[in-house]
Amino acid sequence: MADESVDCSSSLRVATVRLAEVFQQCPEVVQCKAQVEKQTLALKDDVRAKAVAEKKAEIIGMNDEAKRLIVAYQKLAVKDDKAPESQNLREYRKRRNLAESQLQALKLEFEEFQKEQQQEINREMAKTYRAVLNRLTALVSDYAREQGFDVVYDVSGKSHVGLPVLLYAKPGLTTDVTEAIQALVRKPAAEMPKENPAPAEEASAGPEKN
């Protein structure tokens, strides 16, 4: 029986691209990462964070006072609750408990604020990343059509078993277009090729009626 398999190697043009590398070098991604880092650092300088730090310092500063009051109380021959040493120690404990309660409230307020801000930062980052990935997909597709490629593989990714998506390609069979895509990504928007819009009459015209 004749072998009916078809050899497509002579006609099929295959390209590869390291899309993760292109993605990381996209101006939008670089700018987004810098902005995220700036916003994250700003959270640490927020007035709420400073209030927490100040209250912690206040409580730490009370430790010396506690030692002094405890020593004075222990020196009493008779532990009298009405003695000044006893009253001072009680007052200190009240102030200490109040300060620790205030610290917990400040920490909770800051943590909630930080969580909300971080969620907003993550949302904006995800939005930017999605837009960049959509743009890269369109760029690769347009470039492949213009250059006559039939298939483009992203060789930066891995399969669900942890192996590269493209395990092997015969030398000379594939063309790496990573640098070409990087060059397109670096072009200002004004220099990017634009699709020709359909004429107004064609765009607005509906199906002809008999």
Q: What is the DSSP string of 90-145?
A: HHHHHHHHHHHHHHHHHHHHHHHHHHHHHHHHHHHHHHHHHHHHHHHHHHHHHHHH
User: To the nearest whole percent, how much of the chain has pLDDT over 70?
Assistant: 83
Residue 129: predicted pLDDT: 95
Task: Give me the mean pLDDT over the 108-131 stretch.
Answer: 94
Task: Give me the mean pLDDT over the 31-40 stretch.
Answer: 94
Most confidently predicted of 91-105, 150-164, 178-192: 91-105
Task: Give me the mean pLDDT over the 46-67 stretch.
Answer: 91
Residue 160: predicted pLDDT: 72
- What is the CA angle 70-74-80, rounded to 5? 105
Residue 69, pLDDT > 50, answer yes
Task: Give me the mean pLDDT over the 74-95 stretch.
Answer: 81
How many angstroms separate the CA atoms of 192 and 202, rounded?
25
Residue 111: predicted pLDDT: 93
Q: In what side-by-side order are the strands of the sheet with 151-154?
A: 151-154, 14-17, 174-176
| CB distance 15 to 144 below 8 Å | yes
Residue 32, pLDDT > 90, answer yes
How many angstroms separate the CA atoms of 53 and 19, rounded?
44
Residue 171: predicted pLDDT: 80
Residue 72: predicted pLDDT: 81
What pLDDT band is residue 196 in, cutting at 50, 70 and 90? very low
The residues spanned by each domain of the chain are: 14-192
What pLDDT band is residue 125 in, cutting at 50, 70 and 90? very high
Residue 188: predicted pLDDT: 65
